[in-house]
Amino acid sequence: MSFAALKKQSSLGNLTQKLVKEVEKMSNTTSGADDRLWKPELDKTGNGFAVVRFLPAPDGEDLPWAKVYSHAFQGPGGWYIENSLTTIGQKDPVGEYNRELWNTGSEANKEVVRKQKRKLSYYSNIYVVKDPADPANEGKVFLFKYGKKIFDKIMAAMQPEFEDETPINPFDFWQGANFKLKIRKVDGYWNYDKSEFDRVSPLLDDDDALESLWKKEHSLDEFVSPSAFKTYEQLEARLKSVLGQKGSSSYNEDVEEEEVEARSFTPKFNRSEESQLPEELSQKLNSLSRSAVEEDDDDTLSYFQKLADS
């Protein structure tokens, strides 16, 4: 670009527009935006509705879901937002730190543990049957991240409580059922209690079309592959930094985050960004941390109790 062209763009305001667009791209990348991931949206009334179909396990994989634990909390040194090594059966520095706090018997420390506890998430492939908020998504295959409440509904469909209820496999192309996702705002949190499975029916009447959808599914094993997780030492260094403790490692977090970002939807922020988060974003992250506490209390607190007893 010549100097004259640079001056012309400046007078037209084009440079500012370009910078704004680049910042938007960075924001999307930082927040873990990925076009493979589908997320429902709320309407103007604060409710959300969509119809999706859970799909079978991808070709070559055993389960139609991936179960992932993560942590999201704020300390004096910023935010700790990382997947937990307990997902793959390994010791995790946050889990061990929380165990130490819990074993003190202090109620204040136990409250810290509750705020720092694991968040349970699942990933599955879905076919979007109806999406009023974005009809362009209909008829496409996406990854869907959901919590214990929805997973419990899946288990209830597979293992009903009463003898007059017929068990179904929600992940079956032919003998499964569409899932009517109904979202309400209750005490500031998304509530899925009214969500339910429809009657049993084939997803499509064309086996060739079903096979084509099956081949479009995304890998779930990648979420629980050891290569998708930071090492214990890296997580420990990050934890010490967030807790404001001295002696944390100085490994290149920016490079590591770029590598992990391609494999994870979990938002990551480097240290300089954490100290300059806009108030609105900070509130959203605080809400994320609170909702994590709300979503899987029983599962996670029982985990900490087991650690304390060991």
Q: What integer pLDDT is reported at residue 256 of this predicted model?
A: 43
Q: Is 9 a domain residue? A: no
Q: What integer pLDDT is reported at residue 191 of this predicted model?
A: 93
Q: Is 283 a domain residue? A: yes
DSSP 271-282: HHHHTT--HHHH
- CATH code where residue 143 lies: 3.90.198.10
Q: What integer pLDDT is reported at residue 247 of this predicted model?
A: 56
Q: Is 82 a domain residue? A: yes
Residue ranges making up the domain that contains 215: 36-309
Q: Is 290 a domain residue? A: yes
Q: Is 31 a domain residue? A: no
Q: Is 21 a domain residue? A: no
DSSP the chain: --HHHHHHHHHHTHHHHHHHHHHHHHHHHHTT--TTEE-----TTS-EEEEEEEPPPPTT-S-S-EEEEEEEEEETTEEEEEE-GGGGT---HHHHHHHHHHHT--HHHHHHHHHH--EEEEEEEEEEEE-TT-GGGTT-EEEEEE-HHHHHHHHHHHS-SSTTSPP--TT-TTT-EEEEEEEEEETTEEE-TT-EEEEE--S-S-HHHHHHHHHTPPPSGGGG-GGGS--HHHHHHHHHHHHT-S------HHHHHHHHHTT--S----HHHHTT--HHHHHHHHHHHHHHHHHTHHHHHHHHHHHHH-
Q: Is 277 a domain residue? A: yes
- Tens digit of pLDDT at every position of the chain (310 positions): 566 766 666 666 666 666 665 555 444 444 457 889 999 999 988 899 999 999 999 999 999 999 999 999 999 999 999 999 999 999 999 999 999 999 999 999 999 999 999 999 999 999 999 999 999 999 999 999 999 999 999 999 999 999 899 999 999 999 999 999 999 988 888 999 999 999 999 999 999 999 999 999 999 999 999 999 999 999 999 999 999 986 544 444 443 443 344 334 444 334 344 444 455 445 554 554 444 444 444 455 555 555 555 5
Q: Is 20 a domain residue? A: no
A 10 A CB-CB count for 156 gives: 15
- Give the count of domains, the chain: 1
